Structure 1
C-alpha cells in the first residue's frame, strides 16, 4: 500500500484535516469532540489573529487514496523573538499507526527546514496559548476545557522520530468539596484581617478594563517563564470575545494590596462537560443544548488556566497568602453556586517551584502531564 504526505491545498483538504480527528478518536471514551466551529476558527487566517505574526502549513497523509493522518508545521515570529532564532514548531498530530506518524513528522520537519528553522518544538496546536504538549499521563479521564487529549501510542512514535522532552506541563486535581487544610484556613483568615488586602471579583460590565488589568499582571508575572509568548492586542480581543460567555464574576478574582492590583486567578467552568455529547456540532440541535446548559449551569469541574502574581512579590509569604485566599474564595462560590466538586489547576511548568508548592499545600495531586518535545533539525 502506498503512503504519501501532501500539503493541504484546498477547502476540501482543510475539511478533511479537521474531520480526521473525529474519526481517529471516535473509539476513545475520554476524547471530547471539540466544536467544529472552534477548530475552523483556529485554522482560519481571516478569523484567528495568531496568523498576523505566524504561518502554518497543514499536511495530510494518504494511503491508497484514504486520509490516514495529519500534522501542522508553523513558524511564529514571536516564538523566534522570545524562544530563540531558528525555533519552529509542529502540532495537531493525528495518525493511525507509527509509519504514518513518522512520515508526517518528517514532512513537518522538512517544511521547517525550508523556512530556515534549526530546531523543532512540539506539539503546539497552534500556539502555547491553545493546546500545548503531548499528553503522556492521564489518558484515563477526559481533559478539561482548553486542554488536549491524544492516544497513548503517540509518545513512543514521537520519541522514535528522535525527540526528547524539553519541558513537562502538569495539571493538578483538587477535591473542592472538602475544606482547605487547617494551615491554609489559618493563612486565609489572617489575610482577611489584614486591611491592606482586598480580594475582589471582576466586574463583567467593565470587561475590557478588567481584562487589561489581568493582562498587565499576567505579562509581568509570566514574562520570565519558559515558553511565554506575549499576546497581541488583536489576540486579546479575540480571546476575550470567545471567553466572555464563560466569565462568571465570582470565579475570577483580583487581589489588591494597598489598592494596587498585584495578583489574579481565572477560573472557567469545564465547558467540555457541556459539549461532550454534541459530537462537535452545534447544528441542528447542539446550539440549543449548549445555550440551555450555559443558562443554568451546574458543572462538576472547574479549571484554573491562569493565575499570576507580579514579579516583585513572587517568592514572598504575601504572594502565597494572596494565592490561597483567591483559591479559597473561588472554591466557596463554585461549590455553593454551581455544585462543583472538582477543580483542576494548570498547566504548571515542571520547574515552577512556587506554583507547585501552592498546589501541593492545598492537597491537590498531579493528574495529567503534557510534554513538549524538541529536536535539532
Structure 2
C-alpha cells in the first residue's frame, strides 16, 4: 500500500525525515554526494528563503508498506511564469525507490497541487533559484557528482518520469577534463596576450575576497544580461540577488574567480570551485568543526579563510 503524506515545514522532525529519504535509496552508491542539511533545511524554510517572498511550494513523502519510499517538492515560481508567460509548476528534490507506483503516487500529488493553483503544466527538476541546479542525469552515471549545483540520480529515474508523460525540454552538459589535457593551442595564448597589451580588455586580479566583492554587483549585472534568453531565467528579486551573492562568496576563493573587464564593465567571467565532493560524502550531510576541516582542500585554503574573518 502506498500513501502520500504532506510534510509540515514548521516541524523540524518532518524536515529531517524529508532530508533523510535519499540516504537508503543511494546506499552503497559511490558516485552520489549527500545533500547538506543546512542547504535543504533552508530550502524548506518559508521565513528565511527568498523564494517564498513571491512564490509557493509544498513537499510530499511517499510511504510504502510503512516505510518512506520517496519524496517530491512541487513549486510555483510566479516571477518565472510571468516572465515567460506560462502557467507551469516545477518539481524538485525528487527521490524514489525503483517502483513505478511510488513515482506515480508522488507525481499525482504534485499534479493535483498544480491544478488547484490553475497551472497547466509541469517541468523539472528545477529548484528554488539559480544555485540549485537543473535537470535529471541521463548519461554518465559512472562519474561522481562534483558539486551540489549538478544533479545525480539512479539510471531508473528517467524511465519512471518518462512513463508519466515527461519529455526532454533542454540539455545541460557537464564535462570532465583531466588537468593535463586542459590546454589551448599556442595561437590562442598569443592572441590573448596581444589583446591584453592593447589595454582594451583586462583580466582582473584580486588580492582578497574583499577586492572581489567590489565587483560582484557588476558580475550579477553581466549574469542577468547573458542569461536573459535562457530556458531557466527569470528576473531575481533584490533579496534573491543578495542570497546568490552570499552563497557564491561562501563557496569561492578570490584565486578561483576570473573576470574580464572592458573599462569598468564586466564582459566575461569564469568561476572555479575546489572539488570537495569526496569530503561531503564522508560527512554525510552534516557539518561539524572536524568535518569542516575535512572539507578544506588545503592548509593554504584554511589560512585564506582565517585571513578574511
TM-score by length of 2: 0.88
Q: Which residue of 2 aligns with 1:253?
A: 258
Instruction: Determine the C-alpha separation between the residues in 1 that align with 2:235 and 2:290.
Output: 38
Q: Which residue of 1 aligns with 2:52?
A: 51
Which residue of 137, 140, 152 maps to 1:138?
140
Task: Indicate conservation of the 8 Å contact 2:80/2:235, yes or no.
Answer: no
Question: Across the two proteins, how many residue pairs are aligned to each other?
Answer: 296
In structure 2, list runs of 5 or more residues that go unmatched.
303-309
Shift in CA distance, 258/209, structure 1 to aligned 2, threshold 3 Å: closer
TM-score by length of 1: 0.73
Tell which has more relative contact order, 1 or 2 (C-alpha 8 A, sep 6+): 1
Q: Give the superposition deviation at 1:129.
A: 3.5
* Residue range with higher mean Cα deviation, 228-237 or 150-159: 228-237
Find the residue that maps to 2:62 and give its secondary structure: strand
5 Å matches for 1:271-286?
271-283=276-288, 285-286=290-291
Shift in CA distance, 279/188, structure 1 to aligned 2, threshold 3 Å: same
Shift in CA distance, 37/151, structure 1 to aligned 2, threshold 3 Å: same
Instruction: Determine the C-alpha separation between the residues in 1 that align with 2:37 and 2:51.
Output: 18
Q: Give the superposition deviation at 1:259.
A: 4.5
Q: Which residue of 1 aligns with 2:35?
A: 34
Task: Indicate conservation of the 8 Å contact 2:69/2:96, yes or no.
Answer: yes
Shift in CA distance, 188/208, structure 1 to aligned 2, threshold 3 Å: closer
Task: Indicate conservation of the 8 Å contact 1:274/1:293, yes or no.
Answer: no
Find the residue that maps to 1:72 and give its secondary structure: strand
Q: Give the superposition deviation at 1:90.
A: 0.8
Task: Indicate conservation of the 8 Å contact 2:87/2:121, yes or no.
Answer: yes
Shift in CA distance, 125/242, structure 1 to aligned 2, threshold 3 Å: same
Find the residue that maps to 2:168 and give its secondary structure: strand
Q: Which residue of 1 aligns with 2:217?
A: 212
Q: CA RMSD in A?
A: 2.1
Instruction: Determine the C-alpha separation between the residues in 1 that align with 2:298 and 2:37.
Output: 18
Deviations 1:286-319 (A, max 9, x none): 23433x5464349xxxxxxxxxxxxxxxxxxxxx
Instruction: Determine the C-alpha separation between the residues in 2 that align with 1:270 and 1:55.
Output: 33
Instruction: Determine the C-alpha separation between the residues in 2 that align with 1:237 and 1:126.
Output: 14
Instruction: Determine the C-alpha separation between the residues in 1 that align with 2:55 and 2:286.
Output: 28
